[in-house]
Amino acid sequence: MGEKLRSDEKDFQFTKNHKRLLLGSVFLMATSAIGPAFLTQTAVFTAQFASSFAFAILLSILIDIGAQINIWRVLVVTGKRGQEVANEIFNGLGTFISILIAIGGLAFNIGNIAGAGLGLNAIFGLDVKIGAAITAVLSIAIFISKSGQKIMDVVTMFLGVLMIIVVAFVMFKANPPYAEAAKHLVMPEQPLALVLPIITLVGGTVGGYITFAGAHRILDSGIKGKDYLPFVNKAAISGILTTGVLRTLLFLAVLGVVVTGVTLNADNPPASVFEHVLGPIGRNIFGIVLFAAAMSSVIGSAYTSATFLKTLHKSVYNKTNIIVISFIVVSTLVFLFLGKPVTLLIVAGALNGLILPITLGTILIASKRKSIVGDYKHPTWMLWFGIVAVVVTIVIGIFSLQGLTELFGS
């Protein structure tokens, strides 16, 4: 790729390549998290909890940082992907995780493809299935290019910035009660009622494949070793803060609408916010945000799932693009011919909830194994930060299992 960087540098300094990769990994992770579900969850929870939802956003961001910084640091120190580290802890564990990631990623990608189709429908009036097919073609075009990873970086950055600018404009026009939101940021009403929203936000931001998106992107660029930890710290935290910024902007935009007594449309809560603030053109503007969120999530999901699948067998290790293209094609065909299977999405959600506590717990164990990390000393405070995140994500897993029980028990 012509962008491999030395891992034996003693005095770390950011270069132009570092800065591009930093932004690429940050936005790949962030836009992987910001999908259609992200938009809907934020709108629904804001309508339900009003300004107190600010507390849930703040706490979830802190937990997200605890999970992501642990995972990214250990992976870059070892130079190994999540599943490879897991296999060193317990033989076969990494393979099991890779299969879970692939199943969950495939199912969610069906939702992302559908979301992108809906976005193009809102912008141009295209048939949703035609919009979904166009999204698939655009995504595949990115990966078959000779400069696929560089284009992926640029596209995810552009889509991420576009979403932030558009949502910030809507927030400004909505004129939310900033003082009230700031007050409830630290003093929420009925804080115990916010447990489920916090769990949901954490699962949606760093659950499943999402937290590995940026870390695997860094490894694919040849960056590994302790000398790059300053880079990793900045990238990991920036990724979470980027999702936090967009969620906060969207929260404030929705808050500005619901405090006026407006009831959001249950079929598409975030779209109704845009329409209320901007008038009829708001539907088209929301279509831009929805398409950007879905398209970037298609790229992130396909790429990260491929980085897990390619280690299953040496025959496919150097065929990432073929895996990615197959992944996108299958997701699109399932949506086009079978629709958006509710059962598949519920199962995927349950698997997604189970993945992070397993992977993060494995990473924390690995951080103390000299046979894996060598002479690297993982900070104790960071370890405890990670343990808290594991406990929270175990609760996510329990909720996920309840979803499966309800599904197959009905």
Tell whether 9 is covered by a domain.
no
What is the pLDDT, as a whole number, of residue 3? Answer: 45
Tell whether 15 is covered by a domain.
no
What secondary structure does DSSP assign to 351-385, as a single string? Answer: HHHHHHHHHHHHHHHHTT-HHHHTT----HHHHHH
Tell whether 373 is covered by a domain.
yes
What is the pLDDT, as a whole number, of residue 10? Answer: 45
Token pair in block for residue 121: 């429908």
Query: Which residues span the domain enclosing 253?
Result: 21-179+194-257+265-409
What is the pLDDT, as a whole number, of residue 373? Answer: 95
Q: Sign of torsion, CA 102 107 111 114?
A: positive
Total of domains in the chain: 1
Tell whether 169 is covered by a domain.
yes
The 10 Å CB-count burial string (b at 16+, else e) for 273-308 is bbbbbbeeebbebbbbbbbbbbbbbbbbbbbbbbbb
Is 76 in contact with 218 (CB distance < 8 Å)?
A: yes
Tell whether 161 is covered by a domain.
yes
What is the pLDDT, as a whole number, of residue 209? Answer: 85
Tell whether 110 is covered by a domain.
yes
pLDDT truncated to tens, each residue of the chain (410 aa)? 444 444 433 455 667 777 788 888 999 999 999 998 899 999 999 999 999 999 999 999 999 999 999 999 999 999 999 999 999 999 999 999 998 888 888 888 998 999 999 999 999 999 999 999 999 999 999 998 878 778 999 999 999 999 999 999 999 999 999 999 999 999 999 888 898 888 888 888 888 888 899 999 999 888 899 989 999 999 999 999 999 999 999 999 999 999 999 999 888 899 999 999 999 999 999 999 999 999 999 999 999 999 999 888 777 777 888 999 999 999 999 999 887 666 665 666 666 667 888 889 999 999 999 999 999 999 999 999 999 889 887 887 777 676 666 655 55
CATH code for position 398 = 1.20.1740.10
What is the pLDDT, as a whole number, of residue 179? Answer: 96
Tell whether 271 is covered by a domain.
yes
What CA–CA distance (Å, rounded) separates 331 from 291?
16
What is the pLDDT, as a whole number, of residue 345? Answer: 59
What is the pLDDT, as a whole number, of residue 311? Answer: 83
What is the pLDDT, as a whole number, of residue 233? Answer: 93
Is 105 in contact with 266 (CB distance < 8 Å)?
A: no
Tell whether 331 is covered by a domain.
yes
Token pair in block for residue 374: 């060598």
